[in-house]
Amino acid sequence: MSRKYTVAIVGATGAVGVEMIKVLERRRFPVGKLVLLASARSVGKTLPFNGELVAVQELTEDSFAGVDIALFSAGGGISQKFAPCAVKAGAVVVDNSSHFRMDPNVPLVVPEINGADVKLHKGIIANPNCTTAITLMALNPLHKAFGVKRVIASSYQAVSGTGAQAIEELRSQVAAITAGKPVEKSVYPHQIAFNVLPHVDSFLNTGYTKEEMKMQNEARRILHLPAFKASVTCVRVPVYRAHSISVNAEFERPVSVEEARKVLSNVAGLKLVDDPANNSYPLPLYVAETDDCQVGRIRIDCALENGLAFWVAGDQLLKGAALNAVQIAELI
């Protein structure tokens, strides 16, 4: 009889936590007992798992007795405080926040790319930023074939990346505009409906945002490529779910569209959708709620030496968060 594991989800009632529960069930992860943890205000709620309702418990320092694997998705402050408690109790933590990502003692893992790094963990494994993970699903196979030097990228990030309140703000603004009523805003500094905001996360003194620097900093660790450079502009767009990224990549070796398509057509977790003549390319509308990322619009970059331009899209709640975390748990 195969072993069953006690799995805890911290932040179980949040958007990513709910997806984690669904992914565990869908992928038939060997869960013997599921422990759902959240703040005191969520205690008493129940969430479905494998045909049963599981009650949410309050997260405390003593919540992890008997837990084998703890999936965290409740923000950096919660991870900083409670992940060490989980490790002390004997659990392995997979953390979805940014808190441990740049810690040299914590592996930062995308299973299809550097899954072997899981073996190096000392109790905690970090899940990368959603935009970084989706981008690297297409960039890594190209890097292995041609040797990436640098990328220039722009992201088109869905409002669900900010949370449930951002989805509601977009819905209410669209309804207000179509009804000719005044627009109210609280989540974003500007109207998001029928608009795009070149502002994701807080600004640094360089003029970049924290989100924009994550692709360079995290990709260096995931790809084991300390000299990798990325200049990124992150943009919030009025899309409910799934992020898209426009990438211009420069490589060490000459590239061709034919070779690139061949490389990208046989990658686990990635689908090649690249037939512009028939209006076929990755769209957030169709990649939402699917596990695989999609790549298309592949062409020779006319401004970079050994350059390739492409477009990649993926569900940031799945490959960018919950799915990637469960895949790490599978490796554990």
Active site residues: 130, 243
* Helix (H/G/I), strand (E/B), else coil: 191: coil
Does an H or E element contain 141, and which?
helix 130-146
Structure tokens at 307: 């350059």
Nearest to 72 by CA among 13, 163, 7, 10: 10
CB 134 within 8 A of CB 312: yes
Give per-residue burial for 222-240: e unless 16+ CB within 10 Å, then b. Answer: bbeeeebebebbbbbbbbe
DSSP 8-class letter at 217: H
Nearest to 60 by CA among 92, 89, 83, 82: 82
What is each CA distance from 41 to 38, 57, 82, 98, in whole angstroms? 8, 10, 18, 24
